[in-house]
Amino acid sequence: MRLAENVAGTRKAATEILQLCFEAKDWKLLNEQNLNLSKKRGQLKQAVQSMVQQAMQYIDQTPDIETRIELIKTLNNVSAGKIYVEIERARLTRKLAKIKEDQGQIAEAADLMQEVAVETFGAMAKTEKIAFILEQVRLCLDRQDYVRAQILSRKINPRVFDADTKKDKKKPKEGENIVEEAPADIPTLLELKRIYYELMIRYYSHNNEYLEICRSYKSIYDIPSVKETPEQWIPILRKICWFLVLAPHDPMQSSLLNATLEDKNLTEIPDFKMLLKQVVTMEVIQWTALWNKYKGEFENEKSMVGGSLGDKAGEDLKLRIIEHNILVVSKYYSRITLKRLAELLCLSIEEAEKYLSEMVVSKALIAKIDRPSGIVCFQIAKDSNEILNSWAVNLEKLLDLVEKSCHQIHKETMVHKAVLRS
């Protein structure tokens, strides 16, 4: 049948041989027959594909773990380098990696998963591809390989999660690859979205990238199933508020802060609405009063979804409040003594100078410190052209005002004269 290229007959004969081996529970013979049949001269692709798919059904019915690993490895050898069984190979690799992980061999499991580049598989369903890559990212994070985790996570475009799954699927044209349906155990696109952002939060937490963590929580918060249940969205909204306050001041943080303040759900957690309003308002915040008020809430986060805020978060919160206060002072003062600045910030002169210097270095604001006189100047040094231009503009405004005043006086005089004559 094989030499006559009879596809149906060859496929049936090959699968029947494997079925007989399985019924006899001779696992060693099953492995041998799998290899032998796949290596026959001129073996048909369809027959090999059916054999691999048939043998994969027996994996969960193996008597012990050694037999299971042996069968998976045999099927991996059969499918190696064959593009028509690449999806089966990927699924087998995932099963083998799961076994290795259960045995505590996380590094080996991660290496196995990375051997397969599913993003190049045209026939694999989109959700299965994403689930596979997310599994690769998770294993890399478990073995603390953050560089490779980032590289793998970039294979997923976050926009793919916002695609409308309800749209009718187009029928494939002739000659196009037919995309297989994803297995039943693969999560839906929205579930994968949540898994993706939870893994990204783990990655960003390693480097304390608060703004990126906040954006990841915001994406989870926008999932419809999360927004419908207060038990799910309240802890996530709390996290968004905390990480917004912890994030360094920049345009992105500012726009996210204002967008969050407009969220109607924030009224359910008034303390956090108050916290965000304090950060937005251009007024000096007293650190001790703020910490006394929110210390309990800060420590409560450990029992919330997503875990505690991290060891460094408390110090960073104090730093953000100091930075906010320095920005407020720079808005209201053009020149201020270091002593007065330290009083406003509730810090020593040395600490105030240190934090101010760090902000100037990071280009968060422009300032100069005259250390012998102990004066901080927040004004930008202007060159002669700028001074002349501003003087000319001011002079023009003054002349305009004089002209308007003259016109108004002349008008009043004319009206007054007309009244007297009458």
pLDDT tens by residue, 82-114:
777 788 888 888 888 888 888 888 888 888 888
In-domain check, residue 340 = no
Q: What's the average model confidence in pLDDT over 141-168?
A: 80
On average, the pLDDT of the chain sits at 82
| Residue 407: predicted pLDDT | 93
Mean pLDDT within 191-196: 88
Residue ending a domain, among 65, 84, 103, is: 84
* pLDDT tens per residue, range 52-91: 887 778 777 787 888 888 878 888 787 777 777 788 888 8
Domain end residue (candidates: 59, 84, 109): 84
pLDDT bracket for residue 175 (50, 70, 90): very low
- Alpha-carbon span 193 to 36, nearest angstrom: 43
End-of-domain residue from the set 39, 65, 84: 84
- How many other CB atoms are found less than 10 A from the CB of residue 306? 20
Structural domain includes residue 9: yes
User: What pLDDT was estimated at residue 174?
Assistant: 46
Q: Which DSSP category does 377 fall into?
A: E
**């308002």: which residue's tokens?**
281
Q: 3-class SS at 358?
A: helix
Token pair 């990696």 in the structure block, residue: 97
Which residues lie across from 375 on neighbouring strands? 337, 370
Mean pLDDT over 367-384 rounds to 80
Tokens of 20: 């007989």
* β strands within 316-398, DSSP E: 335-337, 368-370, 375-377
Residue 242: pLDDT band by 50, 70, 90 thresholds? confident
Say what the pLDDT of residue 69 is.
82
Q: Are 50 and 15 in contact (CB under 8 A)?
A: yes
Mode of pairing for the β-strands spanning 368-370 and 335-337? unpaired
Per DSSP, the residues of 361-374 read: HTTSS--EEETTTT
Return the H-helix or E-strand segment holding 162. none
| pLDDT tens digit sequence for 339-355 | 888 888 888 888 888 88
**Residue 5 falls in which region: left (phi positive, over 0), alpha (psi -120 to 50) or beta:** left
Does 109 reside within a domain? no
* Residue 142 within any structural domain of the chain: no
Whether 305 has a pLDDT exceeding 60, the answer reads no
Q: How does pLDDT run across 324-335, given as a tens digit for each residue?
A: 888 888 888 888
d(C-alpha 399, C-alpha 254), whole Å? 40
Report the pLDDT value the prediction gives residue 399, as an integer from 0 to 100: 94
What pLDDT sits at residue 86?
Answer: 80
Helix, strand, coil % over all residues of the chain, rounded to 5 = 70, 0, 25
Residue 8 resides in a domain: yes
Residue 245 within any structural domain of the chain? no
Query: Whole-angstrom Cα distance, residue 160 to residue 128?
Result: 13
Looking at mean pLDDT, say which of 48-52, 235-239, 309-313, 394-398 comes out highest: 394-398
What domain range is 400 assigned to? 393-421
Euclidean distance between CA atoms 285 and 356, whole angstroms = 16
Of 138, 119, 131, nearest in space to 189 by CA: 131
- Is pTM beyond 0.85? Reply is no
CA distance 137 to 146: 9
Domain tally for the chain? 2
User: ∠275-277-278 over CA atoms, to 5°?
Assistant: 65
Q: What is the pLDDT of residue 168?
A: 44
Mean pLDDT of the 352-359 span: 86
101, 109 Cβ separation under 8 angstroms: yes
First CA to last CA distance, the chain: 125
SS3 category, 335: strand
More confident residue, 382 or 229: 229
- CB-based contacts of 417-420 (< 8 A; 24+ apart in sequence): none
Query: 1 lies in a domain?
Result: yes
- Which percentage of the chain shows pLDDT scores above 70? 91
Statement: residue 152 has pLDDT above 80: yes
Q: Enter the DSSP assignment of 267.
A: G
Q: Is position 69 within any domain?
A: yes
> Quick one: 255 exposed, middle or buried, by C-beta within 10 A (0-12, 13-18, 19+)?
exposed
Long-range pairs, 308-311, Cβ under 8 A, ≥24: 309/242, 309/246, 310/205, 310/208
> Which residue type occupies 271?
D
Question: Which residues lie below 8 Å from residue 227, measured CB to CB, with a gap of 6+?
Answer: 221, 233
